Amino acid sequence: MQTYSAPLRDMRFLLHEVLDSGQISTLPGFQEATPDVFDAILEEGAKFCENQLLPLNRIGDEEGCTFENGLVRTPSGFKSAYEAFVKNGWHSISTNPDYGGQGLPEVLSFVFEEMVCSTNLAFGVYPLLSRGAATTIEAHASEELKNTYLPHLGSGTWTGTMCLTESHCGTDLGLIRTKAEPNDDGTYKVSGTKIFITAGEHDLSDNIVHLVLAKLPDAPKGVKGISLFIVPKFLPGNDQKIGQRNNVTCGSIEKKMGIHGSATCVLHFDEAKAWLVGKPHKGLSMMFTMMNGARLGVGLQGLGLGEVAYQSAASYAKERRQGKSIGEKSKAEDSADPIIVHPDVRLMLLNAKALNEGARALAYKTAINIDIANKHGDPSARKDADEYVQLMTPVIKAFLTDNGSYAANLAVQVHGGHGYIREHGMEQFVRDARIAQIYEGTNGIQALDLVGRKLGVDMGRLLKHFFHPASKFIEANKDNDDLKDLVKPLSTSFNQLQQITLLIAQRGLSDPEEAGAAATDYLRAFGLVAVGHMWAEMAKTANDKIMNGYKGDKYYEEKIKTAEFYMKRVLPESAGLFLKIKSGKETLMAPSIESF
């Protein structure tokens, strides 16, 4: 069965001991965000997710959303759960207090989001998109539009979407055909059809605010001619209420492999009334505010599903009896041992555990840097933190979602035949996890972003925000007797990553296909090394605790053991990736198109 208990001990360890969440309370506006406040909020958030969202996960998968006469109904229990979600303030943790939010740190919202994704991913996409829409409007819209939409989006009484994709184009948004024509009153009328619109129609909120990419009549060709518009389902009325229905209709919902409780819609805009956000023809750059936030959120989806899959598999492995241990002798009266005694089962569980816990550390560090970038008093500190987030965004999205899908498949394998049938819920994790590798830019697109954009900024300027601290840590701890067995493999992989980064840069300057051929393997290797660095940091923190009065503390001891597994069993994957990258593009590009 689907088993989940929020890993609060691990979350507290990362926040308070490894990443020093206490620094957050020194930032302007966050004085009350102390570790005690963090803990209290997360404990209550865990109760909400475990008690209200997890029981709806299988229901949402079995029932799915229904579509009839243009209306979409979410699965049983979703609406009441969403009302409780909004009423209890879970939607507004980090939103702006000027618009009804609580104004707490982004990292706190990150941690809660992970719990939501573990317990009910399909439910979690509704508030995720709403927060992204609110962030985009706050960053780029006029004061009038902010005052009209942000109080509702901030509270969760209205929800938001991002409307990019059309049937003839996916990532290549320069090909969109949706048009926006000006009205005499300063508004616009938008016409066109968008597909794959998550939460485009549903019954959870009073209104749905669509952020739509469209082209004005005088638009330049390609991506330079895209503008961004707000197109609400219901037009804003008087006294902050909704008015008449806008000309936006849902034509259908997709029948999907997974996340059945999330409505994926085809939306038709028929001269729908719209408001321009920001300047004309600058829509794509503004939409990246929402897309980058969504990419980090999707990374958390991979982490959340990886955690619940691991917990479910570990619970099953402790109970399921099959075969006798090939090592330790068991009691004669026992006909079989729990399968967790078998090396292959342990290998699967430890792979999932080590990747989850390391990825969690990397994600939370990125979130803390978001708060520093937003709030720190020193402009140079804000800039450094923002550049770290830019660098890690494609890694968080792709590496964590690949790992989430991997962990879900491992959970099926641990369950054996029982994992393949629906009764235990493992196959749902596989189906749900698969979408995270695709949407908000496929993981191949993330790899191209890392290699083609992030590495190229000022000849690798962004890289220093990872390379410098990692190098400093390795140098400071290479002679530490307690850590040298962990630092040595990290140092080897880190040095290889630096060398391969230089090789890609050199080859890519003369032949962009070389960079493209290396991109996916490079992102995977980068993620492995970045998580390896986090594991070394965690092991050092745990070892320091043991040396300073916590000897015998099982949590710290097990943390070091998992770090050892990661360094010796997971990180070595990077060596094979480096070899593949060195082989160049030829084996990919040499076969003729006709050979496929």
Active-site positions?
A: 440
**Residue 210 DSSP SS3:** strand
- What is the per-residue burial (b if ≥16 Cβ within 10 Å, else e) of 420-454? eeeebbbbbbbebbbbbbbbbbbbbbbbbbbbeeb
Which parts of 188-323 fold into alpha helices (H)?
A: 283-319
**Which of 113, 142, 144 lies closest to 130 in space, CA to CA?**
113
Count CB-CB contacts under 10 A for residue 339: 21
Residue whose entry in the numeric block shows the structure tokens 């759960």:
81
Alpha carbon 124 to its chain's center = 11
Residues 6+ apart with CB under 8 A from 530: 362, 392, 395, 399, 466, 470
Element (H, E) at 391: helix 379-415
Angle separating helix axes 121-140 and 106-119, nearest 10 degrees: 150
In Å, how far are 161, 442, 492, 530, 578 from 499, measured between CA atoms? 42, 27, 11, 15, 9
Q: 274: which strand partners? A: 188
Q: Which two tokens stand for residue 558?
A: 């097990």
CA–CA distance, 157 with 164 (Å, rounded to integer): 23
Q: How many residues in total does the chain contain?
A: 596
CA–CA distance, 107 with 364 (Å, rounded to integer): 6
Q: Are 357 and 10 in contact (CB under 8 A)?
A: yes
Residues 6+ apart with CB under 8 A from 445: 171
Phi-psi region of 186 (alpha: psi -120 to 50; beta: other; left: phi over 0): left
Which parts of 16-120 fold into alpha helices (H)?
A: 35-48, 54-63, 78-87, 106-119
CA–CA distance, 219 with 194 (Å, rounded to integer): 19
The C-alpha angle 485, 487, 488, rounded to 5 degrees, equals 70
- What is the per-residue burial (b if ≥16 Cβ within 10 Å, else e) of 86-96? beebbbbbbbb
